[in-house]
Chains A and B, each alone.
Chain A
Amino acid sequence: MTNMNKIIKPTFKPIKLSALLLTTLLLSANLTYAANKAPAGNRQADLNVSLGNLCEYIGTYQTDSDGSKNTCSFLPSLALSYEYYFTPKFALAPQFGATLPKKGADDTINRMTLFALANMKYRTNYVNLIGGLGFYFTRISGPGGEQELNNGSGTDSFPLPKEAVYSRNVIVNLGLGLDFTDTFSGELYTYIFNATESEDRAFSIGAALTYHFGDVL
C-alpha cells in the first residue's frame, strides 16, 4: 500500500573527492616528460597495480529531491594487470580488479564490484591509448531477516536480501594513460555498459594511479 501524499527532503549528497584529485594529478602532469623519458614499465613485460576511484553509472540515478542525478562518488578501486609487449608500442594487458565493498549504515546490504578485462595498450609519444573488453560483476548481498517500514496506512515487515547475487555485464573499456616516471603512471578510463543497447547504456568513469613493478614474473 502506498501513501505518496507527502513531500520529502533530500538526505545525502554524493562524495566527490578522490576522482577529482586523481584527475587533477593527471592533467597537471608534464607531457614533455613522458615524451623524453623512458615510459613507465618500458619493458617487454610489466606487472603493475593500480589504485583509483571509479564513478559508477554517471547520470543514471537520482540523488536528491531536486531531481539531481549522480555525478561521482567515492568508490576506491584496486586492480592488477600484466602487460605483455609484443611490439615496442603495442601490449596486451589482462587486468583483474575490484572496488571496495560498501556496507550499509544499517548493515542491511553489501555491494562490491569485480572486473576482469582483456585490455590492449598502444604507446604514442605522449599518451598511452587503452582499449578492451571484459566482464563487470556486481555483487549484492544482505543479512536476511525483515525490516519494519512505513506502508502508507501503517507499518509492515519487508524481507531483506540474504544470499549474494552477482550480475554480470560485458563492458567496453576505453582509456588514456600517461607515464609520470619510470615506475608511476596515471590512467583515465571509461567503462561502457550495454554498449549495443541504447535503452540501458551506462558509463562509469575512473581515474587510477599505477605502480609498475616491471618484468618480475
Chain B
Amino acid sequence: MKMLTLFFIIALSTLSINAQAFTFNNSAKLVFSQDEVLVNVAANCTNLGITNEELLSLVGSAVDNFWNQSPTSRLKLRKGSVVNVAAAFHTGEICVSGTNCDPNPILKVTNDILISCNENTVNFPSTAILGVTIPNNISGSTIQGALVLINDQAGNQFEDKTKNEKISIIAHELGHAFGLGHSKVEDSLMYFMTMSKRVALGRDDIDGISYLYPKQQPKAGCGTVDFDGGTGPNWWSGLFLGFSIIGLSELFRKRKNNTKAI
C-alpha cells in the first residue's frame, strides 16, 4: 500500500498545467513604493457626457471592484478627489514628439495617479482609442506619479459605453498606471480590448499585480524579528512557529508525566 501511495504521488508530481502571462508597461519593472495610491480626477472633461463627480465615482468602482480585490497584492488604490490642473492636461501630448514616448514634462504628475480628459489627436488618432496611460514621474525604479488620459474628443466612444464598461476601461488604464502592460489572455482585464461583461479581474491580472506588489504578511512591527519578504519565502518563520508549538507540547507532556510520577 505504501508503494501504491508513493506511485500516485510521483505520477501526479509530473503533471503541469497551463497558466497565463502578464507583462510590464515599461522597459523595466517600475512600481509605486507606497501601499496606498490615490487616484485623482482632473476637472476638465467636456465631452464624456458625465460630470467630474460621476467620473470620480466610476474611479471608486474601478478600484473597489477590480484591483483592490487581489488577495495576494499589497497595493490598494484609493478614490481621491476632483482637482484643478493646467489646461495643458486637456490639450497636450502625453509623450515628447520624436521620442519613444519620453514623458512630456509639462504633464508631469507630482504624486499618485491623475486621470484627466484629453483631446489631443496625437494621443488619440482615432475615436476608438479610449485611453492612454504612462507613469510619467519616475525616480529610479519607483513610480512617483502616473497620468491617465481619457479620450475627450467630440464623438469619442467612451461616452457611448455602459457604466460597467466605463468602469472596466478606467480599471484597465489604472493597471497601466501602476506598472502593468497588456496581457495576451482574453479573459484578463489587461487584454487590449474591452469585454462587455467584465466584472472582475482575471487570474492573470491577479498574478501581475501580485508580482509587482507582493503582499508581505505579517508586516514587521516592533522587535527584532525580520519578516521582510517578497523575493523568497520566509521558511524560517514557519518552521519556528511549527516547531515551537511541538516543543511546548513536549514540555507540557513531560511536566504532566512528572506530576503523575510524584
Chain A residues with CB under 8 Å of chain B are 1-12, 49, 51, 57, 60-67, 69-70, 74-76, 78, 82, 84, 86, 92, 94-96, 100-106, 108-111, 114, 116-118, 133-135, 137-140, 142, 146-147, 149-153, 156, 158-161, 163-170, 183, 193-194, 199-202, 211, 213
Interface size class of B (residues with CB under 8 A): 35 or more
Q: Is B51 an interface residue (CB 8 A)?
A: no
Q: Which A residues touch B110, using CB under 8 A?
A: none
Q: Is B60 an interface residue (CB 8 A)?
A: no
B214:A153 contact, CB within 8 angstroms:
no
The stretch from B42-50, B81-89, B127-135, B138-146 touching chain A is B127-135
CB < 8 Å A-B pair total: 274
Q: Is B20 an interface residue (CB 8 A)?
A: yes
Q: Select one of B69, B195, B239, B243 contacting A60, CB under 8 A.
A: B69
B182:A150 contact, CB within 8 angstroms:
yes
B19:A102 contact, CB within 8 angstroms:
yes
Which single residue of chain A is at the shortest CB-CB distance from B160?
A: A5
Q: Which B residues touch A111, using CB under 8 A?
A: 19, 207
Chain B residues with CB under 8 Å of chain A are 1-2, 5, 8-9, 12-13, 15-29, 64, 68-74, 76, 125-126, 128-133, 157, 165, 169, 172-173, 176, 181-187, 191-203, 205-207, 210-211, 214-218, 229-235, 237-239, 241-243, 245-246, 249-250, 252-253, 256
Interface core residue of A78, A82, A106, A116 (most chain B CB under 10 Å): A116
Q: What separation, in Å, do the CA atoms of A8 and B193 have in the docked complex?
A: 7
Check A60/B198 contact, CB under 8 A, given A4-B130, A151-B192: no
Interface core residue of B5, B23, B201 (most chain A CB under 10 Å): B23
A168:B253 contact, CB within 8 angstroms:
no
Check A104/B217 contact, CB under 8 A, given A11-B187, A62-B198, A159-B181: no
Check A1/B132 contact, CB under 8 A, given A149-B184, A166-B214: yes
Closest 3 CB pairs of A and B: A116-B238, A94-B242, A4-B194
Q: Select one of A6, A62, A66, A134 contacting B200, CB under 8 A.
A: A62
A168:B229 contact, CB within 8 angstroms:
yes
Q: Select one of B131, B230, B246 contacting A2, CB under 8 A.
A: B131
Interface core residue of A100, A140, A163 (most chain B CB under 10 Å): A140
Q: What separation, in Å, do the CA atoms of A7 and B243 have in the docked complex?
A: 54
A153:B71 contact, CB within 8 angstroms:
no
Q: Which A residues touch B250, using CB under 8 A?
A: 84
A166:B1 contact, CB within 8 angstroms:
no
B206:A92 contact, CB within 8 angstroms:
no
Check A3/B192 contact, CB under 8 A, given A67-B197, A153-B125: yes
- Mind listing 10 A-B residue pairs with CB under 8 Å? A1-B132, A63-B203, A66-B197, A96-B238, A100-B17, A101-B16, A134-B238, A150-B182, A158-B23, A167-B230
Q: What separation, in Å, do the CA atoms of A160 and B72 have in the docked complex?
A: 19
Q: Select one of B9, B71, B132, B256 contacting A201, CB under 8 A.
A: B71
A74:B17 contact, CB within 8 angstroms:
yes
A167:B216 contact, CB within 8 angstroms:
yes
Q: Which A residues touch B157, using CB under 8 A?
A: 5
Which single residue of chain B is at the shortest CB-CB distance from A137?
A: B233
B245:A200 contact, CB within 8 angstroms:
no
Known: A159-B181, A164-B232. 16 other contacts (CB 8 A): A2-B131, A2-B132, A2-B172, A3-B192, A61-B201, A65-B187, A65-B197, A67-B197, A82-B246, A117-B238, A147-B23, A149-B23, A166-B232, A170-B217, A200-B69, A211-B1
